[in-house]
Amino acid sequence: MQLALKTLIITATLSLSLVAGAVLAQTTPVVGTIGVTSEEVQFLAKGWSIKKDILGQDVFNETGEKVGTVEDIIVTPEKGMSYAIVGAGGFLGMAKHDVPIPINQFKIQDKRILWAGATKEAIKSMPTFNYAD
């Protein structure tokens, strides 16, 4: 009787192990379902870093004139990064004029942010950006 009970327990344990193994083998692996793939990481590494390449950096036009500084990056409600806030003019924050500029108008060339066609006068004529409360 005890031998039959031991055999039943061993058989049940092995059966459950096989069933559990089959169920686990069928579940979708976590990698790829959340986060990004290895290929995406390699692609992202070639992009611009907001912290390293953009924030606080001076903005120049094609003639080499400094026209402002990137003060912030705005992520739209649709969660797409689309605008840089460029601060122009002013001294120690006084009379500074912040304007939103679409990111796609910038190019990075020789580790400088270039904004073709920008002038200090043109920026001063643009609508001022103010944060919503």
pLDDT at 90: 66
Q: What is the pLDDT of residues 72-117, one digit of tens each?
A: 998 888 767 689 999 987 665 567 789 999 989 999 888 899 999 9
Q: Supply the pTM of this predicted model.
A: 0.62
pLDDT of 10 over the 50 cut: no
Q: Cα dihedral sign for 59, 115, 81, 111?
A: negative
Pick the CATH number of 47-124 from 3.50.40.10, 3.40.50.620, 1.10.3720.10, 2.30.30.240: 2.30.30.240
pLDDT at 92: 59
Residue 2's pLDDT band (boundaries 50, 70, 90)? very low
Residue 22 token pair: 């089959």
